[in-house]
Amino acid sequence: MIHNGSEPPRSARIAVLASGTGSLFKAFLHAASAENYPGHVVGLVVDRECLAESIAHDAGVATQRVDPGAWSDRASWDEALTRAVASTEPDVVVCAGFMRVLARSFVDRFPNRIVNSHPALLPSFPGAHAVRDALAYGVRVTGTTIHLIDYGVDTGPVLAQEPVPILAQDTEETLHERIKEVERRLLPQTVAGLITGAVAPPYRKEQDR
């Protein structure tokens, strides 16, 4: 992605989208601030008041809030979100617990460079309740998937996956916390690989970005 044999490597610009408690954003920020990390976080964009904002504030990362409530319709919000992210001039866009589906126009603006962390082993259990759904189904193993975002909901090319066993006494909260422990390590690691070229999306016969 940023690797180009003929030019000296430069630090990739990473924009992060978040909605939640920000624990994944915090871990990503920490990993990406290491001296040898091949990128750095240039901005946070959130869709609501959330803890990720104060984490960004403490770290001196500029934050923009694009709350759907402030826009008359979905299309205007999509445009505003795209503008906010584009203003950071990102090489890579990372969704670290961003709980909204991105519009086609957004995906088209940042082709093959939006990375999401999902708390299940896709294609099992896509959607907003992946941990609850895995528990309800009764699978013995779930996990996390780091993937590129395409037009569908959690359907994009898989970059990395790691299993997490389900324990008999697990609740949604205990299981999600163990999955998040993996996400906090695997997301920054995979994004670094994407930037350096060590991680490449698998070839898909019918590409439907």
CA distance 193 to 205: 23
Q: How far is the CB of 25 from ligand GRF (least distance, A)?
A: 6
Residue 176 annotated among the catalytic residues of the structure: no
Q: Single out the residue of 111, 204, 103, 117 nearest to residue 151, CA to CA.
A: 103
Between 32 and 96, name the residue whose CB sits nearer to ligand GRF: 96
Residue closer to ligand GRF by CB (options 40, 48) is 48
- C-beta of 62: minimal distance to ligand GRF in Å? 19
Encoded amino acid at 96, one letter: A
CB of 24 to ligand GRF, least distance (A): 3
- Quickly tell me which residue has 């991105």 as its tokens: 102
**Residue tagged active-site, from 30, 40, 57, 118:** 118
First-residue to last-residue Cα distance in the chain: 17
Nearer to ligand GRF, 113 or 118 (CB): 118
Residues that bind ligand GRF (CB under 6 A): 20-25, 96-97, 117-119, 180, 183
| CB contact set of 59 (below 8 Å; sequence gap of 6+) | 29, 33
Task: Give the residue from 122, 159, 157 showing the smallest Cα distance to 142.
Answer: 122
Q: Can you tell me the distance from the alpha carbon of 29 to that of 97, in angstroms, rounded to the nearest whole number? A: 13
Q: Which is nearer to ligand GRF, 13 or 48 (CB)?
A: 48
Mention every residue, 6+ apart, whose C-beta is less than 8 A from residue 58: none
CB of 184 to ligand GRF, least distance (A): 8
Which residues have a catalytic role annotated? 118
